[in-house]
């Protein structure tokens, strides 16, 4: 994650400034002025190693100390070592270049010296040759000194920018990871809601690309605590603003594999269709076995418990499913399983078959006159009615049903429940 160069320069100037940069420059000047060349010629590798050690130490140590005062714990020990290695590498590159040119010139001078000394006939001539070439070596040394001083400020400021860039990049990356961690936390919660959404709104055409288009935005937020825009961020990526610093970072998104997502959706929709016929006694499971519980009001009662409840009710009310006048209500529907079990008992009753021999007529009577339900939220209403009536209306047909979205618990708290039932269902219930 690149920090703009202008920002790096500005932060480095503000942190180090003339005080730190100037102190380092003075120390380097002393080190540069102290460069000496032995009479026999300092071995190149030893000379270079000494010079590199002086330079990197003189630059890195005060910069790291100043950065520690500024950043504190944000400038971790591992980062300090990384910065020191980077500064040393930058110094080595520059010194290799500078010293390399000096070494080439020194070798040329020494070669010429040797050639001249071979032709010298007296000690006086040899001494004079050595004096002249010693001056040339000193001149080359002075050129090296001047060249190092010319590049000194650039090296120091570049090292300061290296320190700032490392720490600021790590800080920004840490913020990005924090933001991404928050987003991924949303993702884990969101993934559990997908089957519920498919129960309520999904069909064979549902894909990752269309997922945000089939669900009302308010329902999306209510169920997942994630807005549609946040889902799109998870899916497509985008810029994210840190709420504390106001800094913007880019989140890559792509947290869903579209092929896997679409295949999983297709598989769930097929399974929903396979288990949709709740009249089929051969089915020993239902689609809600594949829907994870969500919030408290979306914890679905298992079918086995529902069956026991209805069995108990029938034992206490013999013949209740044989009477076309009896009514049944689920005042806080979740899955619709209770209502479907009641519908099955009524539909399969021998007495009801006698009264309504035609299956469609019998089912219409049950749906229009005998079963009632309230669902507390929009998504639960869609889930329950889709299951009771069939995702494509296979069970409901064209009849008028008695299922409405209303929170009976809240109505009861307000003392308005009886009034609501009377207004909604009249004298039918």
- Report pLDDT for 389: 92
The three-state secondary structure class of 77 is helix
Report the 3 state secondary structure along 214-240.
HCCHHHHHHHHCCCHHHHHHHHHCEEE
The residue with greater pLDDT, 73 or 329, is 329
> At residue 296, does pLDDT exceed 70?
no
Count Cβ atoms within 10 A of the Cβ of residue 236 and give its class: 0-12 exposed, 13-18 middle, 19 or more buried: middle
Look over the chain and give the mean of its residue pLDDT values, rounded to a whole number: 84
Higher pLDDT, 299 or 405: 405
Residues 132-165 have pLDDT tens digits of: 998 998 888 888 888 888 877 888 888 888 888 8
pLDDT greater at residue 146 or residue 338: 338
12 vs 63: CA distance, rounded Å: 10
Q: Average pLDDT, stretch 265-272?
A: 92
pLDDT, tens digit, for every residue of 254-263?
878 899 999 9
Q: What percent of the chain has pLDDT over 90?
A: 34
pLDDT tens digit string along 124-138?
989 999 999 989 988
- For residue 249, which phi and psi values (nearest 5 degrees)? -125, 160
Asked if 386 and 408 count as a contact pair (C-beta separation under 8 A), the reply is: no
Q: Where on the phi/psi map is residue 264: left (φ > 0), alpha (ψ -120 to 50), or beta?
A: alpha
pLDDT for the residue 19: 81
pLDDT at position 179 is 56
pLDDT in tens, 179-236: 556 666 666 667 788 898 999 999 999 999 999 899 999 988 888 777 888 888 888 8
CATH class of the 287-425 domain in this structure = alpha beta
Identify the bridge partners of residue 371 per DSSP, sorted by sequence position.
328
Domain boundary assignment for the chain:
5-179, 287-425
Would you state the pLDDT for residue 43? Answer: 47
**Can you tell me the mean pLDDT for 295-308?**
78
The residue with greater pLDDT, 152 or 347, is 347
User: What average pLDDT does the segment 342-354 reach?
Assistant: 96
Band of residue 370 on the pLDDT scale cut at 50, 70, 90: very high
């Amino acid at each position: 994650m690149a920090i703009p160069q202008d920002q790096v320069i500005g932060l480095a100037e503000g942190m180090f400034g003339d005080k730190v940069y100037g102190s380092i420059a003075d120390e380097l000047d002393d080190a540069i002025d102290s460069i000496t060349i032995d009479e026999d010629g300092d071995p190149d590798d030893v000379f270079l190693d000494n010079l590199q050690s002086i330079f990197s130490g003189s630059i890195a140590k005060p910069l790291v100390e100043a950065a520690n005062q500024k950043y504190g714990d944000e400038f971790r020990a591992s980062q300090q070592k990384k910065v020191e290695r980077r500064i040393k590498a930058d110094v080595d590159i520059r010194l290799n270049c500078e010293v390399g040119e000096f070494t080439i010139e020194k070798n040329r001078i020494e070669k010429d010296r040797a050639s001249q000394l071979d032709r010298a006939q007296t000690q006086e001539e040899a001494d004079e040759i050595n004096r002249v070439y010693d001056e040339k070596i000193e001149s080359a040394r002075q050129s090296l000194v001047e060249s190092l001083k010319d590049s000194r400020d650039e090296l120091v400021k570049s090292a300061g920018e290296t320190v700032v860039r490392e720490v600021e990049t790590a800080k920004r990356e840490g913020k990005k990871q924090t933001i991404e961690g928050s987003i991924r936390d949303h993702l884990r919660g969101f993934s559990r809601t997908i089957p519920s959404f498919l129960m309520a709104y999904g069909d064979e055409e549902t894909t990752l690309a269309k997922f945000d288009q089939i669900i009302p935005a308010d329902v999306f937020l209510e169920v997942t605590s994630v807005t549609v825009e946040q889902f799109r961020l998870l899916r497509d990526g985008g810029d994210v603003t840190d709420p504390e610093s106001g800094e913007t970072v880019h989140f890559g998104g792509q947290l869903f594999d579209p092929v896997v997502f679409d295949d999983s959706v297709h598989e769930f929709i097929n399974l929903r269709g396979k288990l949709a016929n709740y009249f089929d006694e051969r089915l020993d499971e239902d689609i809600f076995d594949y829907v994870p519980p969500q919030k408290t009001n979306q914890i679905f009662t298992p079918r086995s418990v529902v069956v026991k409840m209805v069995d108990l009710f029938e034992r206490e009310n013999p013949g209740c499913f044989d009477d076309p006048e009896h009514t049944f209500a689920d005042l806080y529907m979740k899955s619709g399983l209770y209502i479907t079990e009641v519908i099955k008992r009524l539909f399969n009753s021998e007495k009801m078959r006698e009264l309504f021999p035609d299956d469609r007529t019998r089912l219409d009577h049950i749906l229009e006159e005998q079963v009632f339900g309230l669902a507390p939220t929009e998504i639960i209403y869609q889930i329950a009615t889709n299951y009771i009536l069939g995702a494509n209306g296979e069970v409901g047909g064209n009849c008028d049903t008695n299922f409405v979205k209303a929170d009976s618990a809240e109505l009861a708290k307000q003392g308005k429940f009886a009034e609501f039932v009377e207004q909604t269902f009249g004298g039918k219930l």
